[in-house]
Every structure is written in C-alpha cells, then in structure tokens.
Structure 1
Amino acid sequence: MLSQFTGDKFDNNMLGKIDFDFPEGTHAIGRLDNLSEGLLILTTNKKVTKLLFNSKILHKRTYLVQVDATITDENIENLRSGVEILLRGNKLWTTSPCEVERIEKPDDCYNIVNTLHPRHPHAWLKMTLTEGKYRQIRKMIIAVNNKCKRLIRTSIEDIELGDLPVGKVREYEEEEFFKLLKIDY
C-alpha cells in the first residue's frame, strides 16, 4: 500500500482505500516505500513529523528484515557499527550505529509467509534505527552483500504494530499518542 491518499496514476493500493473515515488533513508520518509493510502513523497534527524526525532528540524505529541468504556475525557487526550507503545525488553516507540481532522467523501475528523456497538460505533480523534515510535498511543490507526480501516496521518508539490486522486503524487520544512517541507537545 502506498503511503498516500490520492494521486496515483496506476491504481495501486493506497490509504484512501482503507475503510475508515479519516479526518481532513490526515497525512502519513515516516512513510513506507511500496515494497515495505507494517506500522504507519497517520495524524492531522503537522508538528508531529518535525518533533519526531527532525528534532535533535533521536527516536527509535524497529523493523523485521528477511534477508535473502545467510548472514554472518561479521555482517551483523558491520550493520551495528554503521555501513556506507549511497544516497540520492550519489552522496556516500555512513549510517549511525544501530541495534541488530538475528531472530527466529517472526510470530504469525505479522502474517509472515516465507517468500523464498524452503531450501533457499535466508535469515531474519530485528533492526532498530534512529535515522531514516530513503530506503536505508535495504541499502544497508546491500552494503553487506545481501538482499532484503521483506521489510516490516513493527514500532516507532512505543507505538507498536502488535496484532493490528493489515489495512486496519488503531486510534489514540492525543496525550497518549505523544507519550508513546516520547515527544512533548
């Protein structure tokens, strides 16, 4: 699903197709690319993006990542320490240190299916970052000579995807929303 309500010329699945009466001015915070899935925060408060992603205080985002082949302990350590990725405009960027751990196949609550043949080597990682460059995790995985097959955002700070079904909405009161995101309003 694209992280927008209108403007798609190709009839892709978009937020406007969700069966929910969104208030006028609702917009996505921390967009997901069309190959990613998981938690997406929607709000009408225009200050939230600035407070969450453009402030001096770093905020955590956690992802489940299925990689295409086995991944070594050295690869994981390189990801943790920071790897060099290419940004738009051919600018090299070294990612900030982050949390990375190898995990077992995630719970069924995420409707996880193995997109690879059962005998094809693959691994799952749990990655927590405090920065979010365009397609950063995918580029980080490429930097350690692997390929990202699935990318699922499971949380932003203390707002968690949990068992929320695909295409459904969970509402929060404003005070609780800001508390879970660890931002002052």
Structure 2
Amino acid sequence: MSKINGNEIRPGNTLEHDGGLWVAVKVDHVKPGKGGAFAQVEMKNLRNGSKLNERFRSADKVERVRLEQKDQQFLYENDGMLVFMDTETFDQVELPADLLGDRRPFLQDGMTVVIEYYDTEALNVTVPQKVVCKIVETEPVVKGQTAANSFKPALLDNGVRVMVPPFVGQDEDIVVNTETMEYAERA
C-alpha cells in the first residue's frame, strides 16, 4: 500500500479510510476564495455499499490500496451463491450473487469475469462490457418508421428490458453494453 496526498485522489482509486475499504466514485477539486484548496470526494464502501462524502486537503495523506485482479470463469449458481473457477489454478470460489448487483442477469454459463481481491477477500465482480443477448419479445417492424431517434422496448432472454432501434426484430441476437444497460449493436 502507498500513501498519496489528498489532491491526488482520482475516481476509481481504492482507499483505506476510517478502517474500511472505499472506492472514490466522484472527485471535485474545490478552491474556495478564502482558505486552502481541497478535494471533495464521494466514496462507496466496497464491503457494505454505504456512501460517504469526505474532504481531503492536499496535505492529508491517504492509504491507496491496490486490488489484485483475477480472471475467473463462472460455473453455476447454488442457493444464491455464484461459483467461479480460477482459470490458472482451477481453484473454485463461492461468492454471493448480490455482489454483482443489477449486472447479475448478464452473467452467462462459462463467462470469464474479473474479480478484484483484497488479500483473500473478493470485493468486486466485473462482467465483460459487451454481452450478446437474444431478444425474446419486441414489437414488429413498422414500415416507414425510420426516424433517427425512435426506439422500441424489447425483452431479452435474461429478463432485462432494453430500448432497441426499430429495425431489430424478435429472435435476433444483439450486443448489450453492461455498464449503461443499453443496446450497442447487432450481433
């Protein structure tokens, strides 16, 4: 672990603060008319998901934590626990399904995900940014509806609803961006 100054905190940095592990979500550098500059940091606890707003002056020292990232393959789900296998050592690890949050429906059998570890504790699971899904239900194509910004709702095979362009039909495979939960392109 390395100590960094308060003004060196960037979004995405993992910090050890008040005995917990926090990820910086948003950082605003503020220079008031009177007094010294500071960084207003919005942080999210990696263990319980709580949020915290904290001010760090440039003279403040903060512990920056480096998380170990490992590629792991999703095997199956068992009683709300997801089972992953390390692709190098073939060790299996069970993690709670709520660790994925609203990205859980995009997890598919055999998919390789990135799990971030602090020592031996798994803190975060990242699914690939783009995932191929099949449309199970959508409105039929309407002839002449070619307006640039017209989208229609579609239900995917994993139960997620997304907005798709009018030319995409039922039973087609599409690529979905898992970060924005939006249609990206046809598969």
* Rg larger for: 2
Q: Greater relative contact order (Cα 8 A, min sep 6): structure 1 or 2?
A: 1
Please identify which structure carries the higher strand content.
2
Structure with greater helix share of residues: 1
TM-score category of the 2 structures, normalised to the smaller one: under 0.3
